[in-house]
Amino acid sequence: MPSSINSDYLYQYRSTNSREHGNNMNTLGLLQIVPVAVVLSMVIIQPNLAETPSIPIPAKLPSDPLVLSGKSGGTVHSNCGNISTTPNQIIQVKESMPYMRLTVDSPGQPTLLIDGPSGRFCVLADSYSQSKPELSGYWQAGNYSLYVGELSQGQYNYTLSISQQKKPK
């Protein structure tokens, strides 16, 4: 073996050279990964940009009842019927309300899943509400995601009434 090449020099050359190329490779790898990550984050964030707009609910409704509409049901099978992957409605209660009533009317078998500051509640129709899911009482300030579900496999047009009037007895 020729002894004209110093083994310390060869080791130092290889270490320096691999560090330089390693940094270039790391930069090149980073330049390849960053655009992919940006594109993926845009794809993931995109559905969030298309979310249901939030409807502000002031302390005093300008018209009572406030009536919203949409299509019930969806592809997600939950313990509150078939619901959509995104809320049908989002309401933003501006300040705590001593009384507010939500009522769903639909030709199907509607349910109402409410996800808000106090937790998640599933409301089914009963004889008191005339076969319409209804929830009334005190509502604390905050955002509420409302899912209008369907016990059957179908989807139906619905109306959601928001009122501050107590139901006549």
- Residues 146-168: pLDDT tens digits? 999 999 989 999 999 999 999 76
Please provide residue 72's backbone torsions phi and psi, each rounded to the nearest 5 degrees. Answer: -80, 170
pLDDT band per the 50, 70, 90 thresholds, residue 136: very high
Q: What are the structural domain ranges in the chain?
A: 1-50, 54-163
- Residue 24, pLDDT > 80, answer no
Strands across the sheet containing 97-105:
66-71, 157-163, 97-105, 134-139
Domain 54-163 is in which class? Answer: mainly beta
Q: Which residue has the tokens 């409302």?
A: 146
pTM of full prediction above 0.85:
no
pLDDT digits (tens, 9 = 90+) for 66-119: 999 999 999 999 999 999 999 999 999 999 999 999 999 999 999 999 999 999
67: helix, strand or coil:
strand
Eight-state DSSP code of residue 52: P
